[in-house]
Chain A
Amino acid sequence: MRPLITLVCAALVTVSMAVPSAAPGAEDPSQPADVLVSRQLAAQANLRVGDIIMLSEDQNGSRPRRFRVAGVYEPTPDPMRFAAKRLEVRLHLPDLISLTADPSDPASTESVSALNLALLDADDASAVSSTIAARMPGLVVRPATRSTDEGEVFSVIDRFHRAIAIVTLLGSTAFLLALMVIRAEERRDIIGILRLVGISARSVFTEVLFEGLFIAIAGALLGVGIALLGEGLVNRFFQWRYDTNLIFVRVTSRIVFESVALAIPLGIAAGLAASWPLFRRDVVSLIRR
C-alpha cells in the first residue's frame, strides 16, 4: 500500500506563474500532476522519481489527490531553522489551490500565504515594499534580500561568540603564564650560569624573546591546524546530525589572522613577564649561592 503523505506547511510551496489552464495537472486530468519532494522526505518515505503519491490537506487524509514525483530537490539550508526536519513537497500553485480549497468557501481559491515578487530593478525592493505596505495596511511586506531581524539575530550571536572568545583568551592566558612561570623557574640556574660566563643580560633577554616568539608562532600555527581539523569534524557531525548542507563552522582567513595576531604577542608577552624577575636578580642569587 502506498504511504499517504501529508502536506506539512503550505508556506513551503513555491509560487508558480503558470495560469491554471496551463498547469501540468490541468492539461490532462487523467494524469497526476507533478510535484517535487525534498531529499529528506524522499529518504524517509522511500520515494523515487516517477512514484505516484497521494497528498491531502489534513492529517486524516481527507480529499486526497494523486501526484507524480517529478524530482527530488535539496532544500536551501536555513540557519534560522536548521534543526527542523525538511519534509517538504513543492507543488504548482494551481495544484495546491485545488488541493486545499474549501468547497464551501469560494474565496478560499483566492487566498495565498505569501507572494514572491521579482522586480525589474532589485535596488527598488525597499521602495516597492513601502509602497505596497502603505496601500495595503496589515500586509507584511519585506525585501527578500534583507531581513533586518535575521541580520540582528546573527549579529547578536556574533557578539556572544566574541564574548566567549574573550573569556577563553583570559583562561588560556592564565594557563600560558603558569606554564611560563614554571619554565622560568626551571631555567633559573641556566640563566645564572650564562650570566656568570660573561653573556650579557641583554643577550639572554633577546634569546628569551626569540624563544618566546618561536613558541608563540608554533603554537598559533598548531592552533590554526586544530581549528581547521575541528571545522571539518564539527561540520560533518552537525550536517549528519541535522541532515543538512548548512556550514556550521568556517575558519576564514580573517579569523586566522585575528587569532595569530592575538596569539603571537600574547605568547611573547607571557614569556617575558614570567622571565622578567630573573633578569632583575643578581647572578649570585640565580645560582642559589
Chain B
Amino acid sequence: MTSRALAWRTVTARPARAALAITGVAVIGALLFDMLLLSRGLLVSLRDLLDAVGYDVRVVATDTLPDIGIPIAAASKLVAEISKLPEVEEVAVVRRSRVTVSVPGRAPVRAALVGVSGTADRRAWRIARGRNLSAFDGAASGPPPVVVSGDLAEALGLAPGSTVQLRGRVAGAASALPPVGFEVIGIAEFDVEAGDGFVAATTSDGFLRVQAQGESDDAEVVLVLSRDPFGAEAAAAAIKRLRPDLRAYSNEQLVDQFNRDGFAYFRQISFVLSAITLGFAFLLVATLLSVSVNQRLHEVAALRALGLTRRRIAAALVWESIWLVASGGLLSLVLGGVLALELDRILRAMPGLPERLHFFVFEPRALVLHVALLAVTALGAAVYPVWVATRLPIAATLRRETIS
C-alpha cells in the first residue's frame, strides 16, 4: 500500500473528524481566498472602469472629490487649447449634477445627470436599446435628448420615445429650478456612474437647460484621449505644462494614486486577515494531525515494527495533511466565490460608488497564490506530527501500549 493510500484510509476511518477538519479548512480557506481577491480587486476594477470609458487622461481643477471640488472655469477655451496639443487625439467635457426625474403617474426618483460634449457618448456608455446622443436628429427647438440607465428605465417604465421631466436638485433644500422636458432616445449601460444609482445622460446643451445656466461654461472634468505614439503620460505632462493651475492624470497615475491613498484600508485589512486566516488554518490542521498522531502512536509503532520505513510514515502523514487541506481548499473556492459575492454586495452599498466598481475581482494570480499558500500550510502543519512519528521509540511505545 502506498503512503497516499494509507493516508486516505486513515482520513476516511474517522469520517466525522475528517468532515469537521475539512469544513474548518474550507471556511477559513474561503476567507483567505476572498482576502486575496480583495487585495487587488478594487484596483483591477478601477483600472477596467477607467479604461472602458475610452479616455486615458483626466483633467480636473483640484485634488478634492468631484462633488465638492471647484469646477473648471471656461471649459470650452480649455478644450480648444488642449485639442491643439500634438499629444492629444480627442477631448470631451463632462458635467455632473443631481436631478429629480418624473413621469406622470409615477413617484419621482432622484438620479445623477451627466452632460457630455461632442462624441464622448460613444465611449462613456453602451447603448442597449434605442439611439445614442450623437445620433439624435430632433429639432433644436424640441425637447433635448436623454439616455437613461436600465434601472432608471425600469423604475419609471421608460422606453425610447418616452418623455420625462428633469428638475435640478439643490442639496438640502427644495429646488426652485423649473422642470425641463426631455425625450428618452436610448437605454444605456453606464461604466462610470455616480452614487445616486439611477443615471441619465444628455448633451451639454440639455445639461445647461436643466441647471438653468445658459451662459455657464464650467465643467467638472475634461476627458482626453492621447495620441499614439505619445501615450497618456506624455499627454498629461503636456496639459500640466499648458495649464499648471489644473491637475491632469493618466489612468495609470490615478490608479497609482488610489493605490497609495484610497485603497490603503482594503490593502491592510486584506493583509491582516490573510495572515490571520493562514495562521488559523495552520493551527487547525497541525492540531488535528498532532492529536491524531498522539492517539495512534501504537499504530505507528506497530507499522514501524512491521518494517515500514520512517520515510513512508512521514509521507503518509504529509499525505494526510494534504488530503485534508486539498479537500478543504477545493471547497473553499466554491464557498469563497459565494462569500465574495455577498461581501462585495455589502461593500458596494457605500455611497458614491460607480455601479460597475467591484471590491472582489477574480484574477488567476489570486488562485495561484491561494493554492501556494494552502500547500505551504499543509506541509508546515505536518512538520510536528512527522517529527513525533518518525522519532518514536518502537519497542518502548509498543510495551507502553500493551501495559496500558
A130 touches B272 (CB 8 A): no
CB-CB under 8 A from A171, the residues of chain B are: 24, 27-28, 31, 280
A113 to B64 CA separation, bound complex (whole angstroms): 11
| Number of inter-chain CB pairs below 8 Å | 122
Nearest B residue to A277 via CB reads: B16
A121 to B20 CA separation, bound complex (whole angstroms): 60
A140 touches B68 (CB 8 A): yes
Report if B134 contacts A (CB, 8 A): no
B350 touches A130 (CB 8 A): no
Please give the number of chain B residues whose Cβ is less than 8 angstroms from any Cβ of chain A in the complex.
54
Interface string of B58-100 (1 = CB under 8 A from A): 0000111001101000000000000000000000000000000
CB-CB under 8 A from A149, the residues of chain B are: 351-352
Report if B273 contacts A (CB, 8 A): yes
Q: In angstroms, how far is the closest chain B Cβ from the Cβ of A127? A: 10
B172 touches A142 (CB 8 A): yes
- Name the contact of A163 in the complex, choosing from B67, B284, B295, B343 (C-beta under 8 A): B343
B287 touches A179 (CB 8 A): yes
Interface string of B159-175 (1 = CB under 8 A from A): 00000000010111111
Interface string of A225-254 (1 = CB under 8 A from B): 000000000100010001000000000000
Also in contact, A9 and B62, with CB within 8 A (given A182-B291, A182-B295): yes
Report if B17 contacts A (CB, 8 A): yes
CB-CB under 8 A from A170, the residues of chain B are: 27
Nearest B residue to A185 via CB reads: B295
Report if A259 contacts B (CB, 8 A): no
CB-CB under 8 A from A142, the residues of chain B are: 171-172
A133 touches B268 (CB 8 A): no
Known: A58-B244, A141-B171, A185-B14. 4 other contacts (CB 8 A): A134-B173, A160-B347, A163-B343, A179-B288
Partner-A contacts on B (CB < 8 A): 14, 16-17, 20-21, 23-24, 27-28, 30-31, 62-64, 67-68, 70, 168, 170-177, 211, 244-245, 260-262, 264-265, 268, 272-273, 280, 283-284, 287-288, 291-292, 295, 339, 342-343, 346-347, 349-352
12 contacts between A and B (CB under 8 A): A9-B64, A82-B264, A140-B68, A152-B351, A153-B350, A159-B346, A175-B287, A177-B20, A179-B291, A181-B20, A182-B17, A242-B264
